[in-house]
Amino acid sequence: MAARKYFEIMILLAFVHIAASGASNAESESWVDLFDGKTLQGWIPKIRGFPAGVNYGNTFRVEDGLLKVSYDQYQDFSNRFGHLFYQDKFSYYRLVLEYRFVGEQVRDGPSWAFRNSGVMLHSQSPYTMKLEQDFPISIEVQLLGGNGKDKRPTANLCTPGTHVVLEGKLFTPHCLSSSSETYHGDQWVHVEIEVLGHESIRHLVGGRTVLAYEKPQIGGGAVSEFDPAIKQDGTLLSEGYLALQSESHPVEFRKVALLNLVGCMDRRAKNFRSYYRKADPKQCRY
């Protein structure tokens, strides 16, 4: 009798362990470092005046474990706006960046680009950008550094060739400031972005939402020399590439990490995760 009772208890404990293990797996987040700290593998430069894949002036580089945007091989900027694209497209995800501005702006960089960079979301492919195109058609999370005296929030919104819906209305101006604090000097800043296809996008700084909007879509100006076949105004942006910007002020990134929110949402599957926001049944494993 005692042996049977012991056996029943052991079976019960095994079930509890399996259930707890499954719950743990369901909650564990599978973040991926898009920047490996050693190389630019998986990244594609596109700098104005050059075809995709040409890293003019070694603008984008890895040094001391940091992804750096540098201009020490430039004599002047000459409107060579650049972007470093990750090779894969994403639709529903969370993105974490840790960045800081350093040094001096390159000669003849525009005044508005002082301590100014950004990350482009839902972007067109770098291979569809024309040679002299300045910015990709995309949603920009603008990253700004302080000038030591004025209010200058970060994680703002800019819209090269795009619009968004803000508080139920189509927002057509080019940029919108967030409610973040100003970060002066060369300090590291942590920014997180939640992208849910064409549903909504949130910008977070210090764990706090500083800007949110809906229905990103193609439209408007603030982008030049684009291919008209790509700029189909009114098209909702549900996916695209992401890219780090070079706008004439040196900036460094020590973290670029992404959590994909697309996956198996069937609780019976081994790879079910409770944090997924969009189902892809083809990913399920049983």
Write out the DSSP string of 184-202: -TT--EEEEEEEETTTEEE
Going by the DSSP 8-state scheme, the letter that residue 25 receives in this structure is H
Q: Tell me the one-letter amino acid at 166.
A: L
Give the residue from 114, 174, 111 showing the smallest Cα distance to 140. 174
3-state class (DSSP) for residue 153:
strand
Confidence of residue 51 (pLDDT cuts 50, 70, 90): very high
- Rounded to an integer, what distance in angstroms lies between the CA atom of residue 223 and that of residue 108? 20
Tens-place pLDDT, residues 104-157? 999 999 999 999 999 999 999 999 999 999 999 999 999 999 999 999 999 999
CA–CA separation, 46 vs 66, rounded Å? 20
Give the span between the Cα atoms of 42 and 40, in whole angstroms.
6
pLDDT at 19 over 50: no
This prediction has a pTM of: 0.90
Domain positions in the chain:
2-29+263-283, 32-259
- Mean pLDDT of the 149-174 span: 97
Q: What percent of the chain has pLDDT over 90?
A: 90
Count of CA atoms in the C-beta half-sphere (13 A) of 234:
0
Whether the per-residue pLDDT at 18 is higher than 50: the answer is no
pLDDT of 21 strictly over 60 = no
- Between CA 136 and CA 224 the distance in angstroms is 9
81 pLDDT above the threshold of 60: yes
CATH of domain 32-259: 2.60.120.560
**Of the listed ranges 10-24, 182-196, 210-224, 254-268, the one predicted with least confidence:** 10-24
